[in-house]
């Protein structure tokens, strides 16, 4: 039996203990948005790190505290930093849960609970992987750091500041991002980046209060104003019309195209990360998106920026008939941005575009800005993850060069220049943020081994 | 003292009694939408008619009953029909009322109460006018009929049917519509017609449920579909782009233009009925409407059809940020139509316009259709009202050939071919449908005299 096999056997032999530790973590509700149980949960992770011989402490921020852990490796060489978070989404709607969201109940080989996939499962598996290596070997091949924040579900409000102010403490060569999901075809799904985001509100003002719609012949309607303004932002061909919007957009590299092709060709049903589903079947034939091939959809999904209407609210929203000329119209939009798009630049271009088209009466308000980040698919950290996955799961991972969604990855790039890869213990059915969030225990077992193997390959 | 002056003196001498009768009517809540107090209120009006010697009865419909009254005049010659309604809007929001909405409290020369202006004040004043003439003279110069329905505030659901089925009973030569309002310059406001209406919902369907907006690169968004579809319906010049939409629209006659000019030139502040206010000052300079003169605005207000967005609902409607790709987008629109536009024809044209522009995926649903109606400004009934106003108020009325709003006037034209004129006891500050609805008692006093004088001139 090789060393590795013996180490994996150790995981199998002690798996119930690992599961118990995870269940304990789930049983500490830590709802950042409601400020419930945050300190208790941070303390749990601090103690868990310490129990494995990893030096750990709780570092206050202006918001919820960060749990920081570190342990030196052999020769104090390279350093890997694991980014996770201990806060969870509120469990609502409660009545759609089949068991207490904070019980960590196990049914049919799955553990159910708020945060079990997002993100306590990953945090625990990684701590247990590092801790087990340390316990069995007495030393680690690399230095390891843990940054476990408490505000990811509320927008990572103080994360950038924390990283900026603790550059030396956090310095590392490789990073592991919080999440990753097994795909239905059994391949571990990984991704290497996130889109940026510009979330804005557009508001048009009409009369000072809702009026009888008999006035519509002579009183301008703010909902019409927004309709006209929006129709200058994106056309029916799904082309975004803001001048210069696409200027900084990068095409996929050859290696990225290879990864995408591998993901699309290998897929049976849903793939990892964001799914390029088939709009023609699902959504009718009225969108040019319906004519795209699965490969083109996948490229667009990962490398295409978006201009999306998240919400449109104006006038009467109830049932039946009310004849009203609305006082106000409000649109919420998110632009998902890809490297090298700059959300501040895009916002300036949007504002200028509106002004230039006679819509300077429409107010715009930035709610969120986040920069796109992507780790080069050629970076050794990606190679290490790829090889570890092959070793543990027996099949190559499905690697997405980035993903459709966004996340607070940018400060790691800006302040630490950290190349990051995302893999984890969730699966396509984990239902993050929804009721009955769960992971499969087999995925959890392999996730621990994956983190161990990954560290060995750095 | 002439006969008329003696009769007016009688009104002054007994004015407290008339006011008491109105207050009793207000104290009988009759909320059609909530089916509160309907029969009691109908019975009150029946009894009030009978108390003046006018034969009256309650006639059931499939909804709330109609109160019908009639009394023959001298020689059984011409007949005038007064159309009113005894139902009222719900009084909400209750906490914005300064006194009980069903108390009929009198403060500072005004009576406050739900329905006191819309429309119990008019109904009572007209009954009292006819009843007083009958009491003082023993006979009337014309036959008089009263149709007092109980469903006006819920769309006059059974009115057309009732008129169709009772043509002989209702036959008349002249009609008086339910409402009319004193303008701020002290002139009695009248109008001669209503716009038609086509109220529709437009719905676009996206994914089967709201999705994470990270999917926006590959999943069509129904809010965008509606934005694009709407932008083909009306442009920034306020031009409605549905082919043939304006084909049937009539221009004002010379006499109508005279009336409009008189209303605009004579106005100090707000005019009667719908106000052509100054969009430039109130709403910024971003609408072509801002550049129109008061006269052009007034013409547009009365003779221009509209395409108005009453409500737009899609995706996340709350505060702050939610990144969602909506499953559905819904728009409510009303088109206000002018003679000779036909709402069924306009709906067909709209549907064809959407289909022809590639929007056959957008569902349309008709909620309401009502036809435009207008009485010729040259009709003798208008002349009679004009002369009566001059006699009672000492100044010429401000006559609007039609109004911006709509109403159930069409069945009177279709089944009875009845020319109608609208005058009444409300004023520009009556606040129909809002809290603290009220009338000025002096307007009420003159309103009774106006109805008396009008009858004498027919």
Percent of chain B residues topping a pLDDT of 70: 95
Tell me the three state secondary structure of residue A269: coil
Radius of gyration of the CA atoms of chain A, in A: 24
Helix (H) or strand (E) holding B259, with range, is helix B254-265
Q: Report the share of chain B in percent with pLDDT over 90.
A: 85
Confidence of residue B292 (pLDDT cuts 50, 70, 90): confident
Mean pLDDT of B92-110: 95
Long-range contacts of B230-235 (CB under 8 A, 24+ apart): B230/A224, B230/A227, B230/B202, B230/B309, B230/B331, B231/A227, B231/A228, B231/A231, B232/B353, B232/B354, B232/B357, B232/B359, B233/B307, B233/B350, B233/B353, B234/A224, B234/B307, B235/A228
CA distance B80 to chain A (A): 28
Q: Is the pLDDT of residue A270 over 70?
A: no
Tens-digit pLDDT profile for residues B39-64: 999 999 999 999 999 999 999 999 99
Q: Is the pLDDT of residue A303 over 50?
A: yes
pLDDT over 50 at A91, yes or no: yes
Instruction: Confirm whether the ipTM is greater than 0.85.
Output: yes
Give residue B264's pLDDT.
86
Asked whether the predicted pLDDT for residue B267 surpasses 80, the reply is no
How confident is the model at residue B272, as a pLDDT?
Answer: 37
Question: Do residues A346 and A242 lie in contact, with contact meaning Cβ atoms separated by under 8 Å?
Answer: yes
Answer whether residue A279 shows pLDDT above 70. Answer: no
Cis before A172 (ω within 30)? no
Residues of chain A with C-beta less than 8 angstroms from the C-beta of B366: none
Q: Which of residues 173-202 of A touch B (CB under 8 A)?
A: 195, 197, 199
Tell me, what's the pLDDT at B392?
97
Residue A267 confidence class, pLDDT cut points 50, 70, 90: low
Among A64-73, A280-289, A436-445, B215-224, the least confident range: A280-289
What pLDDT is stored for residue A5 in this prediction?
A: 87
Interface membership of A313 toward B (CB under 8 Å): yes
What is the per-residue pLDDT for B5? 87
Is the Cβ–Cβ distance between A277 and B283 less than 8 Å?
A: no
How far is the C-alpha of A72 from the C-alpha of A229, rounded, in Å?
57
Confidence of residue B172 (pLDDT cuts 50, 70, 90): very high
Q: Report the percentage of chain A scoring pLDDT > 90.
A: 86
Report the percentage of chain A scoring pLDDT > 70: 95
The yes-or-no verdict on residue B381 having pLDDT over 60 is yes
Relative to beta strand B193-194, strand B106-107 is unpaired
Helix, coil or strand: residue B377:
coil
Question: Tens of pLDDT along B342-372?
Answer: 999 999 999 999 999 999 999 999 999 999 9
Cα–Cα distance, A222 to A448 (Å, whole number): 55
Q: What band does A209 get if pLDDT is binned at 50, 70 and 90? A: confident
Contact check, Cβ <8 Å, B310/A316: yes
Mean pLDDT of A225-233: 98
pLDDT tens, residue by residue, A308-329:
999 999 999 998 888 899 999 9
pLDDT the model gives residue A292 = 87
Which of the listed CATH numbers 3.30.1490.20, 3.40.50.970, 3.30.70.360, 3.40.50.10800 matches domain B196-370?
Answer: 3.30.70.360
**Average per-residue pLDDT in chain A?**
93
Minimal Cβ distance to B217: which of A301, A311, A317: A301
Cβ of residue A224 closer than 8 Å to a chain B Cβ: yes
Among the ranges given (A277-291, A337-351, B327-341, B365-379), the one the predictor scored with the smallest mean pLDDT: A277-291
Average pLDDT of A134-146? 96
| Structural Rg of chain B based on CA atoms | 24
pLDDT band (50, 70, 90) for residue A335: very high
Mean pLDDT of all residues in B318-330: 91
**CB distance B225–A361 less than 8 Å?**
no
Name the H helices within A267-321: 279-283, 294-303
Mean pLDDT for the stretch of residues A256-267: 85
Q: Do A104 and A115 form a contact (C-beta atoms < 8 A)? A: no
**Residues with Cβ within 8 Å of residue A191, at least 6 apart in sequence:** A177, A180, A272, A273, A399, A400, A401, A402, A403, A421, A422
A447-451, B13-17, B284-288, B413-417, range with the lowest pLDDT: B284-288
Q: Tell whether the model's pLDDT for residue B335 goes beyond 60.
A: yes
For residues B199 and B321, the answer to whether their CB atoms sit within 8 Å is no
**Average pLDDT for chain B:** 93
Q: What is the pLDDT of residue A265?
A: 79
On the question of a cis peptide bond just before residue B119, with omega within 30 degrees of 0, the verdict is yes
Asked if A442 and A128 count as a contact pair (C-beta separation under 8 A), the reply is: no
Query: With b meaning 16 or more CB within 10 Å and e meaning fewer, what string describes B121-138?
Result: bbbbbbbbbbbbbbeeee
Mean pLDDT of A113-123: 97
Q: Where are the domains of chain B?
A: 3-179+424-457, 196-370
Q: How far apart are CA A196 and CA A308, in angstroms?
A: 13
Cβ-defined contacts of A232-240 (< 8 Å, 24+): A232/A353, A232/A354, A232/A357, A232/A359, A233/A307, A233/A350, A233/A353, A234/A307, A234/B224, A235/B228, A236/A288, A236/B228, A236/B358, A237/A288, A238/A287, A238/A288, A238/A289, A240/A305, A240/A307
Please determine whether the domains at A3-179+424-457 and A196-370 fall in the same fold group of CATH: no
Cβ contact, residue pair B216, A336, below 8 Å: yes
Homologous superfamily of B3-179+424-457 = Zn peptidases (3.40.630.10)
Q: Which residue has the higher pLDDT, B294 or B18?
A: B18
Residue B132 C-alpha from the chain's centroid? 27
The pLDDT tens digits for A347-365 are 999 999 999 999 999 999 9
CB contact under 8 A, B279 and A368: no
Give the helix/strand (H/E) hosting B22: helix B15-26
Q: What is the pLDDT of residue B287?
A: 87
CB contact under 8 A, A223 and B309: yes
């Amino acid at each position: 039996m090789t060393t590795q096999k013996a180490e994996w056997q150790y995981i199998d032999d002690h798996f119930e203990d690992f599961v118990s530790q995870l269940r304990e973590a789930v049983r500490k509700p830590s709802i950042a948005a409601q400020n419930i149980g945050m300190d208790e949960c941070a303390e749990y992770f601090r103690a868990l790190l310490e129990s494995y011989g990893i030096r750990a402490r709780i570092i206050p921020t202006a918001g919820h505290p960060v749990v920081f852990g570190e342990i030196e490796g052999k020769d104090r060489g390279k350093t890997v930093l694991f980014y996770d978070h201990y806060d969870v989404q509120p469990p609502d709607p409660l009545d759609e849960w089949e068991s207490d969201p904070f019980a960590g109940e196990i049914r049919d080989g799955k553990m159910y609970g708020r945060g079990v996939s997002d993100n306590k499962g990953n945090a625990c598996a990684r701590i247990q992987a590092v801790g087990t290596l340390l316990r069995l070997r007495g030393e680690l091949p690399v230095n390891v750091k843990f940054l476990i924040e408490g505000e990811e579900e509320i927008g990572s409000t103080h994360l950038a500041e924390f990283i900026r102010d603790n550059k030396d403490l956090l310095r590392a060569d490789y990073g592991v991002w919080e999440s990753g999901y097994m795909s239905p075809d059994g391949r571990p799904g990984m991704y290497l980046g996130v889109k940026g985001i510009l979330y804005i509100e557009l508001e048009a003002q009409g009369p000072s209060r809702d009026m009888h719609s008999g006035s519509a012949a002579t009183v301008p309607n703010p909902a019409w104003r927004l309709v006209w303004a929006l129709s200058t932002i994106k056309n029916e061909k799904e082309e975004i019309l803001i001048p210069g919007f696409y200027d900084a957009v990068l095409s996929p590299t050859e290696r990225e195209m290879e990864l995408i092709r591998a993901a699309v060709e290998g897929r049976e049903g849903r793939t990892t990360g964001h799914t390029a589903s088939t709009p023609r079947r699902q959504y009718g034939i009225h969108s040019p998106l319906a004519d795209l091939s699965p490969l083109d959809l996948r490229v667009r999904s990962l490398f295409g920026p978006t201009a999306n209407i998240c919400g449109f609210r104006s006038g009467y929203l109830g049932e039946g008939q009310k004849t009203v000329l609305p006082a106000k119209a409000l649109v919420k939009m998110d632009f998902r941005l890809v490297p090298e798009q700059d959300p501040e630049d895009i916002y300036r271009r949007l504002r200028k575009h509106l002004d230039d088209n006679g819509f300077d009466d429409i107010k715009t308000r930035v709610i969120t800005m986040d920069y796109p980040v992507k780790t080069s698919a050629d970076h050794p950290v990606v190679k290490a993850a790829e090889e570890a996955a092959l070793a543990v799961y027996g099949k190559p991972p499905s690697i997405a060069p980035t993903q459709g969604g966004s996340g607070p990855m940018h400060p790691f790039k800006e302040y630490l220049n950290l190349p990051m890869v995302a893999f984890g213990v969730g699966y396509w059915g984990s239902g993050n943020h929804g009721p009955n969030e769960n992971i499969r225990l087999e995925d959890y077992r392999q996730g621990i081994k994956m983190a161990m193997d990954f560290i060995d390959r750095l």
